[in-house]
Amino acid sequence: MILIAGPCVIENKDILFEVAESLSPLASHQDIEFYFKSSFDKANRTSLESYRGPGLEKGLELLAEVKKHFGYKILTDVHECYQVKPAAEIADVLQIPAFLCRQTDLIVEVAKSGVIVNIKKGQFMNPADMEYSTLKALKTKKPSLQVPVFEDSKHLGVWLTERGSSFGYGNLVVDMRSLLIMREFAPVIFDATHSVQMPGAAKGKSGGNSNFVAPLSRAAVAIGVDGFFMETHPRPSEALSDGANMITPQDLQELVETLLKVQRSLH
């Protein structure tokens, strides 16, 4: 099972290392392929006043320290093409944010960097149409490809992540069919914490309900996915970004053990 976990945004070194330390049991688990995630910049915050992160240079420096100290593989997101080259020197996976999942130049630049590409499905996207975003990355890596299939995506390092779909205003729902649809042409990660987000529900920032993280995750593992994306914070109510939908490291560890049991029972 792929597990992508960490705080939503880099707040400071102390919290970053506190979370990294707390995830050590999961990172060393024999049944988990672990990636530590945090953002150096949250470029699509609802409000101009919201905390965005330490920025590219300082953020990558801190992620490099985590990588060196803990030996973790790193995932972070990029929003613009100029960020790709320096980020790829540190990260093992570069993530295309959901709002940018059709941004051709960004997808191509990340694919050219040689790292794994994780494209988050836009909240506005038909899951079947993510085939074309996948193909943008695959054809950059291997121009002869015409149709994306799961094995090519897995071999060449292109993942897709489900994070819910817009349902009216200020709400997301997860259509579990999308996991099966996208898994026809790429490994699929279920983003359990962003899927319970409520965009714009907290007066200038996103709200959410983390109580739904566990049941949605259990449903996803039963349907069949390749991994999970779960943002975590030791004190979610104090987090500077996405606190309402993050879970504590302890809750994360208990949930992952449950998901592994379900996964084993299905095989």
Query: What mean pLDDT is predicted for residues 82-111?
Result: 98
Question: Phi first, then psi: what are they for 68, rounded to 5°?
Answer: -70, -40
Query: What mean pLDDT is predicted for residues 154-169?
Result: 95
pLDDT surpasses 70 at 267: yes
Q: 208-249, pLDDT tens digit by residue?
A: 889 999 999 999 999 999 999 999 999 999 999 888 999 999
pLDDT surpasses 70 at 56: yes
- Are 66 and 20 within 8 A, CB to CB? yes
pLDDT surpasses 70 at 202: no
Percent of the chain scored above 90 by pLDDT? 88
pLDDT of residue 46: 79
- Compute the distance between CA of residue 221 and CA of residue 40 in angstroms, rounded to an integer: 29
pLDDT of residue 169: 87
Question: What is the pLDDT of the chain when averaged over all its residues?
Answer: 95
Pick the residue with more confidence: 97 or 242?
Answer: 97
Residue 204 pLDDT grade (very low, low, confident, very high; cuts 50, 70, 90):
low
Number of domains in the chain: 1
pLDDT of residue 48: 86
pLDDT surpasses 60 at 67: yes
Q: Which domain holds residue 168?
A: 2-265
Question: Which regions of the chain does DSSP assign to beta strands (E)?
Answer: 2-6, 33-37, 73-77, 93-96, 116-120, 158-162, 165-166, 172-173, 188-191, 197-198, 207-208, 227-231
CATH of the domain at 152: 3.20.20.70
CA distances from 144 to 119, 136, 148, 152, 183 (A): 21, 12, 11, 12, 21
Q: 101-137, pLDDT tens digit by residue?
A: 999 999 999 999 999 999 999 999 999 999 999 999 9
